[in-house]
């Protein structure tokens, strides 16, 4: 196996994470942990952007080995989706600047933004796993190329996650 092919397959599986049960959740969790550690979305945004660039080639190499258009081992789509979701929530939270969001305060000692990141992770995984609404439509769209469907459902899940978290945060801030 040549180095380029092997490296791209390792990259597509996030160095083996995609090969373990629940690989997509583990890949999303890695992005969450990085954001929690940094208490911002800088690296999560960078990882999403980088995965968008290297993803197509890594996907192509992996598909040539596993013979399926949507290999469960490919987890860069979760890195893209989770990175977008974390970034969107972070940007919104910075726009409104002063807020208090401690829904998990009884269980964690995280900052308000850390609590938002955890909520974003939960909502993102819900949409990504359940494939309800537009997430499922994107994945089943027969008019679209396979790679676009694979990353498209995660991007839609990220957008829906951002909207749901913004709604929850808005209700928490202005209604409760």
Is the C-alpha dihedral spanning 25, 31, 37, 40 positive or negative?
Answer: negative
Residue 132 has pLDDT above 50, yes or no: yes
- pLDDT per residue over 106-125, tens digit each? 555 567 788 889 999 999 99
The predicted pLDDT at position 1 comes to 41
- pLDDT per residue over 47-81, tens digit each? 999 999 999 999 999 999 998 999 999 999 999 99
Inter-residue contact 71 to 63 (CB < 8 Å): yes
Tokens 């829906």 map to which residue? 160
């Amino acid at each position: 196996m040549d180095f380029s092919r092997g490296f791209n397959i390792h990259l597509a599986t996030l160095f083996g994470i995609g090969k373990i049960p629940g690989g997509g959740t583990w890949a999303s969790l890695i992005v969450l942990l990085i954001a929690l550690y940094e208490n911002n979305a800088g690296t999560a945004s960078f990882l999403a952007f980088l995965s968008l660039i290297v993803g197509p080639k890594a996907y192509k190499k992996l598909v040539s080995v596993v013979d399926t258009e949507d290999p469960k081992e490919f987890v860069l789509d979760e890195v893209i989706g989770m990175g977008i979701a974390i970034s969107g929530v972070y940007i919104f939270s910075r726009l409104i600047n002063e807020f208090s969001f401690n829904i998990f305060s009884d269980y964690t000692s995280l900052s308000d933004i850390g609590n938002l990141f955890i909520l974003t992770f939960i909502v993102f995984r819900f949409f990504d796993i359940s494939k309800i609404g537009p997430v499922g439509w994107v994945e089943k769209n027969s008019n679209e190329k396979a790679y676009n469907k694979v990353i498209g459902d995660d991007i839609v899940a990220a957008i829906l996650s951002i909207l749901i978290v913004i709604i929850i945060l808005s209700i928490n801030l202005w209604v409760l």
